[in-house]
Structure 1
Amino acid sequence: MIDIPLLSKICELPGAPGYEDKIRNYIIEQIKDLVDEWSVDSMGNILAVKKGRGDKKLMVAAHMDEIAFITKYIDDEGFIRFHTLGGFDPKTLTAQRVIVHGKEDIIGVMGCKPVHVMSAEEKKKIVQISEYFVDTGLPADKVKEIIEIGSPITRERSLIEMGDCVNSKSIDNRVSVYILVEALKELHGKDIPYDLIAAFTVQEEVGLRGAITSSSGVNPDFGIALDTTIAYDLPGAKPEEKITCLGKGAAIKILDGSTICDHRMVKFLKQTADANEIQWQPEVLPAGGTDTAGLQRSSQGGAIAGAISIPTRNLHQVIEMAHKQDIRNCIDLLVAAIEGIDEFNWAF
């Protein structure tokens, strides 16, 4: 159904915002022979082009960065203080391993004040991000020899299969990187209507930065973003709070906190899914944004933009979970949309 070894490798490689080198190099190796040309722009976005018959451009974006941290201070005992790169719920940092990327990679653990010495009042409060530190188990002089201010820090966690699902760090958004790579494989050697620009973007987690710059350079007529979305199909969730559910199909975005998707693109994706018997579900996400906004706004005059989203539980944790069939449905919908985009009436 899906290539677990490939997805595992893509999820597990480090790629903090602004430090996407390792994941970028791996993606290039996977896609360089599947496209007509590829390049890396000044920000580090990969722009892979598959030529089409017509004179329009479709840009599909999947961001390759992951939420992470950056070293901001090393104290006299060798403990590392950090700044977050992306959004974190403080309680999810407890008892986690990380990798500090300096002159060499060093394993560390997230530490904070032990509960045994907390006051009764402290025990009632959530530990704040500023109270955490990274402990590498090394003496201070060794830490300072290998690590410097600005060294990125990523989370350490392997991908596993759980029933019908996969569980890992960085499902957000490496599952979309995987989907776009798989789509390029399935389109290899096929004739497509318009030029396809497969954009693997940087720094989405800190403000959609790569999508904004790459879209402004490409000026696509159409844009489809690939990203995860909330699956709050958990105990205690009210029906109206669920957003999406695992195993209910690819999610077709209607809006999120930064974008109202073009209603024509929403209709096109729905019709494409139905025509190809691909299971789908609607997505209305009240908060949070994706590269959809960058695609939509940064093209000259705007692009007709929407998104295919992958329902995911436990977002921005190291236990993100997605359903294998949903992932397969997203690949199928993306390929069908790329192949059929010229058959839809795009008039208002």
Structure 2
Amino acid sequence: MSFSFFRSASRSPQWTPLELVYAIREGLRALDTETGAKALEEVEKNILSMKQLLSGNGEAELDPNQVSQVAVEVCKDDLLSLFVLKLPTLGWQARKDLGRCWCILLSQKVGSSYCCVDYIDNHVELLDFLIVCYNNKEIALNCGNMLRECIKYPTLAKYILESTSFELFFTYVELPNFDIASDALATFKDLLTRHENAVSQFLSSNFEQFFDRYEKLLTSANYVTRRQSLKFLSDLLLESPNTHIMKRYILEVRYLKIMMELLQDSSKNIQRSAFHVFKVFVANPNKPQEVIDTLLKNRDILVMRLSNLPTSKGGEDEQQLEEERDLIIQEIESMSSSPNSIS
């Protein structure tokens, strides 16, 4: 093509989708050359122009055909890959603009398919790159937003769940930077809640490995990690597609012991959350003998802890919690060594 990729962004209304995509692609490629400083300034302006074309700028009506054309063009010649790989090179505002473009582009259905999603599905190394970028505090939050957009699509979420990169989230949720750790936890939750059937299959196939790692989060020295991971575990186990996972979880005495320890945590919030998991162990009509023996051995201290369980909490059904606590205490007190003594 004869036009220059250094064309002024002030002329952005005259860009065609093909010209704009070409300009950004050539600008990103130029970031590795001696013209990098000039290219960075121009490519950031052109990314802003793309964002305006995709989402509108308040001056011109959004053209869905142009948006679709951009979606098709960014998948050609690997511009979508350059968006990810060159992200660390861009400035703060350009990364934000690019993230907005990413979200819009992935949602564009051209014909019968989401072409950008299909592209990523064929270049899954981009997902691994975005995950690893949680180690880069400058772009971690940008990558988190882009990852959560990817997770909306079943094939991309499934890849992440089954990839070795998924294991990194168990480390990321405990990073010392609170904002990054919280963002990683948000992505982690999305992965494990967005597509229920896929998650259920994943947990069934990776039960031991997953809950072994999750145990470290529940026993973390970090209060926020303990509280959030415990609350999320309670929600996860009580999801209807995960009933078989919950039934398997409550057969393990080591997980029971973790909940018993958390019942005496110094935090009232953690005590309440631990109770919601602990009660399922007790209410299980098919408790294994090892679980029964553990409950009997610790009956007196458990009754004392439960009797002192704080029930008052804003927004929570206090009466229901008290009723459940009293029922669990009664069941523990009436237990005998017979495996099926509790109805």
TM class, shorter-chain normalised?
Answer: under 0.3
Greater strand fraction, Structure 1 or Structure 2: 1
Higher relative contact order (CA 8 A, sep 6+): 1
Q: TM-score normalised to the size of structure 2?
A: 0.24
TM-score between both structures, scaled by the size of structure 1: 0.24
